[in-house]
Structure 1
Amino acid sequence: MQSSSKLFPVALISAELRGDLTEDVYLLKPNNSPDPSVELALTRLGRAGHDGARGVPVVLLHGSFANRRVWYTTGGQGLGAWLARAGFDVWLAEMRGHGLSPRNRLYRDNRVADYARYDLPAIAAFVGEQCAAPAHWLGHAQGGLVLAAALGGGYLAAAQLASLTLCGSQISRLHGVLELPPLIWAARLLLRRREQVVAGWVGPGEGYEEEPAGMVRENLRWFGRFGEGRQDWAAGLVEVTIPVLALAGAADRSAPPAACRQLLERFGSPLREYLCLGRAEGFAEDYGRAAMLLGGNAHNEVWPLLEYWLRHQRLPERR
């Protein structure tokens, strides 16, 4: 089968019409990491009948214990579908071993470092090959953390991004009782024998898909530091000058507003926007990490706000 890319092997594994949307699923085999078995699924959403008039590209990156369904439900809803219907060229990336991306040979040892160093650059290169303009990138929870690692580590060139949006992403605070060092050591010891961690292991409501044990071990190792070896990814963010928006959920205990704002302030961008999604700011509810994308009020309050940001690189005035 002929590759869909001149960069590395890419197969178009599905091309479907889903109501008013087109859904093309690509499988990338970049062969750029120590594990040659890695394949990455990338779903492109567009409006039916508008294939020749693709809009501004947007890449959406899911968080931990999740896949593309956080953006695009089986019923054809979600922020990804909303943006596609609004005329954007939407790309839904799924990290190795998640969703339609098959489990790689070294699945249990997958790390954020692998996503940042190998997978995101491959996805960015393919999207750049297919589109005429730099893409806006949006990461949810750990998806935003991976993007911060890729940019802070210099693995992803800022010129490849039109803007960055972080939804409930932070790098400075562990979840609940895991802030206690003895429990960190005990958890890391337990995870050495595991292949994966089931959804809900960290806490209730934490996603719906298994996560490689290596990802959780790595997050525990970062207690107080965000980087790998001698490389400090957090320090590298000062060199990143693209527009950045950070959304925090007022009711998010895993990524509290103060920690989300702290991550935003590490960026060197002259255009930085921050908004806490809560009643104090005039929203209908105090949003949690999942609710800011999937809650009953999200499609009325949060999705239009994100669409406005992508079009204008600023937040709309709130009444």
Structure 2
Amino acid sequence: MQSSSELFPVALMSAELRGDLTEDVYRLKPANSPDPSVELVLTRLGRFGQEGGRGVPVILLHGSFSNRRFWYSPRGLGLAPYLARAGFDPWIAEMRGHGLSPRNQQYRRNRVADYARYDLPAIAAFVREQSGQVPHWIGHSLGGTTLAAALGGHYLGEEDVASAALFGSQVSRNYWPLKVPPVEWGGRMLLKRFEVLSGSWLKRGPEDEPIGLALESLRWHGLFGRFGDAERDWWAGLAEVRMPVMAVAAAGDLQDPAWACRKLLEQVPEEHRHFLLLAKDEGFSDDFGHIEMLVSKAAEREVWPLVAHWLEHQRLPLTTAALEAVAL
């Protein structure tokens, strides 16, 4: 195929007009990991008629059991279209086997370690090549955790990340039974019988997840587990991050509680970290939930403008009144 990049083979799968938006879909084959069959799909949105004047690039990473539709609905709604209409250059990544990205040959073995070490750097390189600018990154749930792993593992640096925003992302929620070795071993033996975790069966979302992610999570939360892989301690590496990082937690999020999201952020040096809690006590209309923090009418009114403000200034408004003014 004729490549759209000088870095590695890239195919432009489609270029469509969706109302007032342009939608370009690229398939990347970076061949930079032990599994050369990996292909990643990126969707780039723009404003029709203003393709030559794109703004700052923003890369969006979905969470587990999800795909690009978390950010961009078929009706042209979502944070990604909002950012495109606000003058930014949003790129929506779909991880291995999600959405338009095909399953790789070693799909069941996929781990956050692979996404962070191989996939995110390839995505960063392509977006930099196409836009000529250092991108901002936004990750939700597992997407934010993967972004934190890439920063802590130094797979992404200042040349790849202008800022990072982690929504509902944490690795500190304790599962005490997993601290008992026989329980962890038993769980591992049980999980190894499966190829995937079914999002529809678990009622978690439209996509499946490879069993490798679950096995990796067991290791993180085991008795001597850590947020890292055999080579690098990502948790410790976050202390060396030198770009602005924002963590956003939701008071009504039972899956990834606010205290755990804050704990992940606190690994980043104080001068680079920013924390936002979406709660009634903080001046918001509701105690947002794990999904509702980014996908809801309330998020459209109250959270999306704050995201745009963050991308423009790499800081948050200092007062509740300022938060309300930005949202308006």
Q: TM-score range by the shorter chain?
A: over 0.9
Render the CA deviation track for 1:97-133: whole Å, top value 9, x for unaligned. 1110000000011000000111001000000101122
Q: Distance in 2 between matches of 1:309 and 1:121?
A: 23
Q: Who is 1:260 aligned against? A: 261
Identity of aligned residues (%): 61
Other-structure match for 1:279:
280
Alignment of 1:156-175 (within 5 A): 156-174=156-174
- CA shift digits 1:184-206 (9 cap, x unpaired): 443322210111101166x65x3
Q: CA deviation at 1:296?
A: 2.8
TM-score, reference length from structure 2: 0.92
CA distance in structure 1 between the partners assigned to 2:86 and 2:184 by the alignment: 44
Distance 2:34 2:157 in 1: 21
Partner of 1:216: 214
1:117 paired residue number: 117
CA distance 1:253–1:186, change in 2 (3 Å): farther
TM-score, normalised with respect to structure 1: 0.95
Stretches of structure 2 lacking an aligned partner (at least 5 in a row)? 322-328
Name the SS for the 2:307 alignment partner: helix
**Aligned residue in 2 for 1:290:** 291
Q: Matches of 2:181 and 2:280 in 1, distance apart?
A: 34
Asked if structure 2 preserves the Cα contact closer than 8 Å seen for 1:241 and 1:269, the reply is no
- Output one character per residue of 1:35-56: Cα deviation in whole Å (capped at 9) or x when no partner: 1110000000000110110101
SS of residue matched to 1:126: helix
**Counterpart position of 2:235:** 234
- How many Å separate the matches in 2 of 1:226 and 1:105? 26
Asked if residue 94 in structure 1 is aligned to residue 100 in structure 2, the reply is no
Counterpart CA distance in 1 for 2:235 and 2:293 is 25
Whole-angstrom distance in 1 between the partners of 2:296 and 2:176: 23
Distance in 1 between residues matched to 2:128 and 2:54, nearest whole Å: 13
Q: Contact 2:45/2:91 (CA < 8 Å) preserved in 1?
A: yes
Structure 1 residues 181 and 297: alpha-carbon distance in aligned structure 2, compared to 1, 3 A threshold:
farther
Residue 207 (structure 1) aligns with: 205
Query: CA separation of 1:103/1:174 partners in 2, compared to 1, >3 Å: closer, same or farther?
Result: farther
Distance 2:259 2:182 in 1: 25
> 1: CA distance between counterparts of 2:309 and 2:180?
41
Residue 124 of structure 2 aligns to a residue whose secondary structure is helix
* Matched-pair contact (CA < 8 Å) for 2:170–2:260: yes
Partner residue of 1:136? 136
Whole-Å Cα distance in 2 between the matches of residues 124 and 308 of structure 1?
22
CA distance change for structure 1 residues 46 and 180 in 2, over 3 Å: closer, same or farther? Answer: farther
SS class of match (2:271): coil
Deviation at 1:156, TM superposition (A): 1.3
* Structure 1: runs of 5+ lacking an equivalent: none
Q: How is 1:18-29 mapped onto 2 (pairs within 5 angstroms)? A: 18-29=18-29
Partner of 1:7: 7
What letter corresponds to residue 105 of structure 1 in structure 2?
Q
**8 Å Cα contact 2:200/2:207 also seen in 1:** no
Compared with structure 1, are the counterparts of its residues 69 and 176 closer, same or farther at alpha carbon in structure 2 (3 Å cutoff)?
farther
Change (3 A) 1:40 1:159: same
